[in-house]
Amino acid sequence: MLRRHAIGFRTLLMLADGVLAVLLLAVLSMARFGVEWVTHWGPVLAQPAAFAVAYAVVWIAVLWLHGMYRPRARWTVWSEGAAIGRAVVVMALITSSLLFALRLPDVSRSYLLLMFPAQWLTTIASRLLMRYVLERLRERGYNLRYVLVVGAGPRAQAFAAKLEGHRELGLRIRGFVDDHPYELPLKWRNLGKFEDIERILQDDVVDEVAICLPFSLWDRMNAVAHLAEAVGKIVRVPVDVLEGALSAGRVEELDGTPVYSLVTGPDRMAGLILKRTLDLVVSTVAVVGLSPVFLAIALWIRAREGSPILFRQVRVGLHGRQFQVLKFRTMEPNAEDRYHELVDQSDPRAFKLTNDPRITATGHFLRRTSLDELPQLWNVLRGEMSLVGPRPAPPREVLGYDLWHRRRLAMKPGITGLWQVSARRSDDFNDRAELDLSYIDRWSLWLDFKILARTVPAAFDGR
């Protein structure tokens, strides 16, 4: 299974199974022994809480051994229920053996008879609910990743069908490119020829590129792989035998098909899940804690500068996804209309003027203290941005990017980043881009913590 996507789904299942196992022990104990259920377990178990955690860990391990964390294309309720049933039987045997071996005081037989069927029921129900929620979210376009398939022959179509067959991976086919006019099913689109790939990668939202060409077109495969790698896309090459390496990569597997994966940028799914968790926790606390500051700034702008209070602008995010960034307004209301008067005074790929005549008196203070960026916490909560990452640029600036600049889009944009807190701050866009790419290549949670810690004093110092 494609490791990057399987780890996220597997982690979610494991967390759900572990939490539900602990909750189930508590709920059944309360139902069987009443509100004083904790005191009931005291004489039986020296550490009831430790036992509950140990039970959950063993339950996850048993499910793992029964293959319950391996995504499958041919998933059915009956096959899942049967496998969980076998795991429950094994768990019952383990629990009974431990109770006997440890010579614990008598444990209610009715409690045990109730616990294991309930364990089966809650596990299968939680998985059904989780799959239902994920499918509904993905039908609405949330948490999807789009794949461009290079090649449109039978082999390419078969691989695309396998990708979409694993619905839990959240992969959808953006379209196919091929010089040969192959007939495609109605659900898929032909986006053009090989010569159109660079344009498609620039204009469309594409997260991954699957190269499904015969080895007779090895030169074409190599060129496409390096092009996709240069702009920060994950490259998949389904192969039976790989005699040469495109770059540093690894061989994975999808339903028996070996897949050569060339990954650029952060690929530690568990770490990225923690990064998203950090974003949600910190931004939620910040929005609540800073709500008086939000209100004060909004009232001041309204009183001094008039409406609108917020500035909204389309920006380019992860792999070309566009969204509306939010900031407190720091410029005149007609600032966008005057852009063409000033564009020649700055690099159009990162437009910024030291003394921009459009900035208001209040705007100078908000920008110097970075308070104008606070509304972007809402973009973080929505999942369009992260706390740390490359700054998002308007589409007009992205259009001027060189090929290597586009790899900045390989990671979700951030409110702050390595360039903002670096001692090597430069007005040259290439220097900024190099720092952004350095952040992407070196990314870790620890690096995010360090950048966040350095952001606060930098903002107060007006840097």
The pLDDT tens digits of the residues spanning 123-148 come to 888 888 887 777 777 666 667 889 99
Nearest C-alpha neighbor of 276 from the set 171, 130, 376, 383 = 383
Distances (CA, A) of 68 to 13, 25, 124, 462: 9, 21, 11, 53
pTM score of the predicted model: 0.61
State the pLDDT at residue 241.
39
Pairing of strands 234-238, 208-211: parallel
The position carrying tokens 């689109």 is: 189
Which CATH number is 145-262 given? 3.40.50.720
Per domain, the residue ranges of the chain are: 3-139, 145-262, 269-460
Q: Which two tokens stand for residue 299?
A: 């009232």
The pLDDT tens digits of the residues spanning 100-114 come to 665 555 556 667 778
State the pLDDT at residue 385.
94
What CA–CA distance (Å, rounded) separates 86 from 61? Answer: 13
What CA–CA distance (Å, rounded) separates 71 from 58? Answer: 21
Higher pLDDT, 191 or 114: 191
The pLDDT tens digits of the residues spanning 148-180 come to 999 998 889 988 998 888 776 778 899 999 998
